[in-house]
Amino acid sequence: MNVDAMRKVVSDLHAELVRYGLVAWTAGNVSGRVPGEELFVIKPSGVSYDELSPENMVVCDLDGDLVEGAHAPSSDTAAHAYVYRNMPEVGGVVHTHSTYASAWAARGESVPCVLTAMADEFGGEIPVGPFALIGDDSIGQGVVSTLKGHRSPAVLMRNHGVFSIGKDPKAAVKAAVMCEDVARTVHVARQLGTPLPIARDDVDRLYDRYQNVYGQRSPR
């Protein structure tokens, strides 16, 4: 896949953020690493989702510096770049402020693994990352330090929102969608009682089956 193909993939995937209700205004972004190149494609800053096109996507190097594009890259570009520099297996990164997941982030509380779908997709809880201000590598560092060595492809950055990763941008979008879905369900479950944990062995079995046997999925 070359730069132009990745421009189209990344542009099209932003429609999924809208379709699944993960974003308000322009606050959410998808990026995709260009295979074999030290480049990634990301959303332009401040452009509304229905104005996005392959042509107005922005191409950056792995330092987050602009390589191609008429617009400035997303204000979250430094975080995406940090992830690509430090996690070579990652081919896609997504950031959203989706409501239920961000509500867990606002409390600094990880989403406990109480659904088989969570064991399948996240292999356990969805962890919380540190509080970090935008503007330097702090957010990227928090994402990488939390997700490295963790099965979850999504992290709830404290007081902020979700960062998710995948082998490609579509897998990262799927993780963002599933993160919001289970954050909502576990929130609802909490309203009437205490959700029941799933035994560690069962989590492991579910995760292994889903990642290695079910379908052809292998996100990381």
Residue numbers of the site for Zn ion (CB under 5 A)?
161
Of 112 and 161, which has the nearer Cβ to Zn ion? 161
CB of 160 to Zn ion, least distance (A): 6
CB of 155 to Zn ion, least distance (A): 12
CB of 45 to Zn ion, least distance (A): 12
The catalytic residue among 76, 120, 168, 181 is 120
12 tagged catalytic: no
Of 161 and 169, which has the nearer Cβ to Zn ion? 161
In 3D space, the residue among 5, 39, 10, 20 whose CA is nearest the CA of residue 96 turns out to be 20
In 3D space, the residue among 202, 67, 75 whose CA is nearest the CA of residue 140 turns out to be 75
120 tagged catalytic: yes
End-to-end CA distance of the chain: 18
What is the Cα 38 distance to its own chain's centre?
20
Half-sphere exposure of 71 (CA within 13 A, CB side): 20
Sign for the CA dihedral angle at 19, 20, 24, 28 comes to negative
Tell me the residue nearest to Zn ion as measured from the CB.
161
Instruction: Point out the residues that are catalytic.
Output: 120, 214
